[in-house]
Structure 1
Amino acid sequence: MKIKVKVNNVGHGLCISLIHENGKVMLWDCGHNEDCRPSVFLPRSGISEIGIFFVTNYDEDHISDLPELRRKLHISTLHRNRSISKEQLISLKRQSGPISPAMASMLDMLDKYTHTPVKPPEFPGVTYS
């Protein structure tokens, strides 16, 4: 079994990709910088779908490439911290200023990804909880 895990150099934020030999992808966060954007390097690698997208942190440096990522790739499953509601997140983010495009995209996902998938994507040999 071949699995490629890459901690992508996005500067201050986070973006980790796992690409299974079967082509399935897991992505942890989607921070970016000018030289490294998951919305660019994943499609260049022939990737058109993210099987599981983990959001570890709702700060801008962890979700900054989300609008472009969602435009270019299909995201099948979202795993996130469910201890905070969409309304609470909006309130917290507005305390520091207007809602960014990345946060608006994240908030949109919270509306659309509200259930547990019936069958998670296939990642043979990879376990997560």
Structure 2
Amino acid sequence: MLVEIFDVEHGACAIATCDDQTRLMLDCGQNGLTGWRPGNYLYDRGIMTLDMLAVTNYDEDHVAGLPNMYDRKININWLLRNKSVSSKTIQALKSEDGMGAGIAKLVDAIDNIFTGGTGGVASPGPSFAGMTKKVFYNDYPAFDDENNLSMVVHLTCNGKGIMFPGDLERAGWLKLLELEDFRQALRDTSVLVASHHGRESGCCEEIFEYCKPYYVVISDKGYMYDTQKTIPFYRRFTKSGPFRNETRNVLTTRKDGLISFTFNSDSWGPF
């Protein structure tokens, strides 16, 4: 099993390719500097069907590549998202700053393609051989900001856990920590993708009472904010492991580019 975390600057995009070649994409950001687009990536590899797209956050940097996916005619069989947030609520949340093209396409897809959230798929979803998933999110209107409405996706890949928390902030983390299933998911996490692209607002020390990851992965570009410099914070809580002939705790797309993990039945690790 392969999990690829792409360099999409200050955004998010990853793909899990399972043992039966089913694929789950987690967010669909893009790289404005290099021109990398998720739809082009799939198209160029002859992958015209995506079994599931999980949108962890309702901000543009998590869905900027969605129009490209539709332009390339990539079929998306299933949409996974925080369903307590309606398309009208997404539009209302974006009323102050306006919707980007990616959010606009997502709203259109929710209303016209994925009505009911399944896109017409009359089953519980793809099998994803070798992988199981759990999702957690805070409900609207208990939270009314995009970051704390982020959907946390926890994948168990041939026995090892990787967690994608979107842009969840401290208040959202603390609320989810009230759930025993969520605390167990943290215990079962070997790779943690840093919330909110490694910014301080996404840090929550309390989760590390349960979560003891080998690696933290930060998806972002060069430093834009003082609050982005959280590598020392995350390094405190990681076990570390081998990565490209080094021993590393924190991996970043801004330094390391594409970061991939293999999860086999008898071994796992990044490259």
Using the size of structure 2 for normalisation, the TM-score is: 0.44
CA contact (8 A) 1:13 1:61 kept: yes
Aligned partner of 1:61 in structure 2 is 61
The reply to whether residue 37 of structure 1 matches residue 37 of structure 2 is: yes
Could you report, residue by residue, the CA deviation over 1:61-115 in whole angstroms, capped at 9, with x for unpaired residues?
1000101112220000000111211111111112113x32211110011112132
How far did 1:22 drift? Answer: 2.8
Distance 2:49 2:76 in 1: 6
3-state SS, counterpart of residue 89 of structure 1:
helix
Whole-angstrom distance in 2 between the partners of 1:88 and 1:123: 31
Contact 1:32 / 1:61 at 8 angstroms: preserved in 2? yes
Aligned counterpart for 2:16 among listed residues 11, 15, 18: 18
Counterparts of 1:103 and 1:124 in 2: how far apart (Å)? 30
8 Å CA contact 2:15–2:23 kept in 1: the answer is: yes
Code of the residue aligned with 2:102 in structure 1: it is A
Counterpart position of 1:126: 131
Matching residue of 1:7: 5
* Alpha-carbon distance between aligned partners in 2 of 1:30 and 1:108, rounded to the nearest angstrom: 16
SS at match of 1:128: strand
Q: Distance in 2 between matches of 1:113 and 1:40?
A: 22
AA matched with 2:59? D
* CA distance, structure 2, for counterparts of residue 74 and residue 20 of structure 1: 18
**Structure 1: gaps of 5 or more residues:** none
Name structure 2 gaps, 5 residues minimum.
Answer: 135-271
The residue number in structure 2 matching 1:102 is 102
Between the aligned partners of 2:69 and 2:17, the Cα distance in structure 1 is 16
Equivalent-residue separation in structure 2 for 1:128 and 1:55 (angstroms) = 14
Q: Normalising by structure 1, report the TM-score.
A: 0.89
Is the strand fraction higher in 1 or 2?
2
Return the offset for 1:125.
1.6
Q: What does residue 114 of structure 2 align with?
A: 113
**Which of structures 1 and 2 has the larger relative contact order (alpha carbons within 8 angstroms, sep 6+)?**
1
In 2, the alpha carbon distance for the partners of 1:87 and 1:6 equals 32
Distance (whole Å) between structure 2 residues aligned to residue 19 and residue 39 of structure 1 = 16
2:261 corresponding residue in structure 1: none
What displacement does 1:121 show? 1.8
User: How many residue pairs get matched?
Assistant: 126
- 2: distance between equivalents of 1:85 and 1:123? 27
1:21 is displaced (CA, Å) by 3.9
For residue 122 of structure 1, report the CA deviation from its aligned partner.
Answer: 2.9
Q: For residues 52 and 13 of structure 2, what CA distance do their matches in structure 1 show? A: 13
